[in-house]
Amino acid sequence: MNSVSAPKDIVPLSQILPEDPLLMMGAGPVPIPAAVAAANAIVINHLGPTMNQVIEQVKTMSAYVFQSDSQHILGVAGPGSAAMEMAIANLVLPGSTVLSICNGFFSNRLAEMAGRVGADVRRLEVADGRCADPDEVKAALQKFKPQVLTLVQGETSNTVYNRHLPQIAKLAREYGALVIVDAVCTLSTMPLDTEAWGVDAVITGGQKGLASIPGVSLIAFSERAWIQIKTRNDTLKHWCLDAKLADQFWYQKAYHYTAPVSGILAIHEALRLICAETLEKRFDRHLRCSRSLQNGIEAMGLKLYVKPESRLNSVVGITLPEHIEGPALLELMSRRHRVEISGSFGPRIVRIGQMGEQSRTHNLFRALHALGSSMQSLGAAIDLPGGVAAMESSLHDHESSRRVA
Ligand SMILES: *Cc1c(COP(=O)(O)O)cnc(C)c1O
């Protein structure tokens, strides 16, 4: 007799999942293209010629997406946070100094991780809604002389964009610090020129900018970073995240741990779709859709949380009008319109994602209408037709300005 008996009240997934799925317009996970979903249903051997060919293509396509000719692009079985931890665990030595540029929730997570591996972490706190200022970063580099600098390109939590990333990375190089960039929501949605900007580790997750599934992530290390990884003579405390061990699978066709085969096949398809679209067109599509959505939201009479100069396009933050509560709005949008957006980690905002399939005009209109109509039902003064019309003309203007150019 087993001491725990088989549960009797388990229902199949088909009874749990809604028949009419929610359109996921939040800060991730994002909807996945059909080819990604199909790949995710396949399991093959994690070693052998078929997988080898898949891995070669994943690396080749990643090099394009990262804009890096790095020979050290690794996949990670884990969330974006596992890739963050991999960058930190491999590049931050115990007792070294790390300068963490903190704009919000995720940039603070990098700082926290650096602290956990024994670094002396100095935080440069950036006021909410602002991007990091290169002069302030320079002063902090002078003062703390860090070995590593961490920052996010796009801070999903409060929708801030660190616009000055190229200058900041350059400064870090001048002061001899390795640069770790979290590009989980931004990679492939806006420019990030890893090689040209001199970034030493770029982190991305599956379920945001790349429009793949959650649970498999990618990381690109620079040559300079790899030298440090190779010449480190202490043993990493993280076995799964040890880049030298991961290199066995990603570059030497050997076993590290059983790779998340289906997730790698899914990311292969996500990368293939990005390469087929080209980065240039993909950036333009995201820009056009996000800007038009922003214009539509403002024309409805709502306020965007971040000023244009620091505003992230991949995730749009909308200030809640007085008397409107985020949870009630989200609930109404889901129930009545089958559209899901995200709440907040702190500021009084809701967030609409503009990553991958979210940046398609049919999804934009559905999301904008659901937002405006639900706000109106909850008592906010909303010009719904004005918002929709503004988004339409903004989409159109972007298209015609490109044709002229
Ligand atoms: C979502 C996100 C992460 C964390 O990714 P998980 O897959 O949830 O671990 C890190 N950084 C940024 C900027 C993100 O948007």
CB 367 less than 6 A from any atom of ligand 1? no
Confidence at residue 346, expressed as pLDDT on a 0 to 100 scale? 87
CATH code matching the domain that covers 23-28+279-404, chosen among 3.20.20.70, 3.30.70.1290, 3.90.1150.10, 3.40.50.300: 3.90.1150.10
Which residue, by CA, sits nearest to atom 5 of ligand 1?
Answer: 80
**Contact in structure between 203 and 88 (CB atoms under 8 Å):** no
Q: Which amino acid is at 121?
A: V
Cβ neighbours, 10 Å, residue 79: 17
Which residue, by CA, sits nearest to atom 2 of ligand 1?
Answer: 184
Q: Where in the chain is the domain with CATH 3.40.640.10?
A: 34-276
For residue 357, report the distance from its CA to the centre of ligand 1, in Å: 18
Angle of helix 223-231 relative to helix 243-252, nearest 10 degrees, comes to 120
Write b or e for each residue in 204-243: b if 16 or more Cβ atoms lie within 10 A of its Cβ, otherwise e.
bbbbbbbbbbbbbbbbbbbeebbebbeeeeeebeeebbbb
CB 144 less than 6 A from any atom of ligand 1? no
For residue 183, report the distance from its CA to the centre of ligand 1, in Å: 9
CB 204 less than 6 A from any atom of ligand 1? no
Which residue, by CA, sits nearest to atom 14 of ligand 1?
Answer: 184
Pocket test for ligand 1, best of 110, 204, 208 (most atoms within 8 A of CB): 208
Confidence at residue 405, expressed as pLDDT on a 0 to 100 scale? 53
CB 79 less than 6 A from any atom of ligand 1? yes
For residue 208, report the distance from its CA to the centre of ligand 1, in Å: 8
Three-state DSSP state, 276:
helix
| Residue 77: strand pairing partners | 216
Tens of pLDDT, residues 98-150: 999 999 999 999 999 999 999 999 999 999 999 999 999 999 999 999 999 99
Q: Where in the chain is the domain with CATH 3.90.1150.10?
A: 23-28+279-404
Q: Which CATH class is domain 34-276?
A: alpha beta
Spatial distance between the Cα atoms of 130 and 47, rounded to a whole number of angstroms: 46
Counting every residue written for the chain, the total comes to 405
For residue 378, report the distance from its CA to the centre of ligand 1, in Å: 31
Pocket test for ligand 1, best of 30, 81, 180, 212 (most atoms within 8 A of CB): 81
Kindly give the number of the ligand 1 atom that is closest to the alpha carbon of 106: 11
CB 182 less than 6 A from any atom of ligand 1? yes
Kindly give the number of the ligand 1 atom that is closest to the alpha carbon of 82: 9
Spatial distance between the Cα atoms of 108 and 100, rounded to a whole number of angstroms: 8
Which residue, by CA, sits nearest to atom 12 of ligand 1?
Answer: 184
For residue 30, report the distance from its CA to the centre of ligand 1, in Å: 12
For residue 155, report the distance from its CA to the centre of ligand 1, in Å: 9
pLDDT in tens for each of the 405 residues of the chain? 789 999 999 999 999 999 889 999 999 999 999 999 999 999 999 999 999 999 999 999 999 999 999 899 999 999 999 999 999 999 999 999 999 999 999 999 999 999 999 999 999 999 999 999 999 999 999 999 999 999 999 999 999 999 999 999 999 999 999 999 999 999 999 999 999 999 999 999 999 999 999 999 999 999 999 999 999 999 999 999 999 999 999 999 999 999 999 999 999 999 999 999 999 999 999 999 999 999 999 999 999 999 999 999 999 999 999 999 999 999 999 999 999 999 998 899 999 999 999 999 999 999 999 999 999 999 999 999 999 999 999 999 998 887 765
Tens of pLDDT, residues 336-391: 999 999 999 889 999 999 999 999 999 999 999 999 999 999 999 999 999 999 99
Spatial distance between the Cα atoms of 366 and 370, rounded to a whole number of angstroms: 6
Pocket test for ligand 1, best of 156, 212, 216 (most atoms within 8 A of CB): 156
pTM: 0.97
The pLDDT mean for the chain works out to 97
Confidence at residue 399, expressed as pLDDT on a 0 to 100 scale? 84
CB 80 less than 6 A from any atom of ligand 1? yes
As given in the structure block, the two tokens for residue 368 are: 């904008």
Cβ neighbours, 10 Å, residue 126: 22
Write b or e for each residue in 34-51: b if 16 or more Cβ atoms lie within 10 A of its Cβ, otherwise e.
eebeebbeeeeebbeeeb
| Residue 148: strand pairing partners | 98, 178
Kindly give the number of the ligand 1 atom that is closest to the alpha carbon of 315: 15
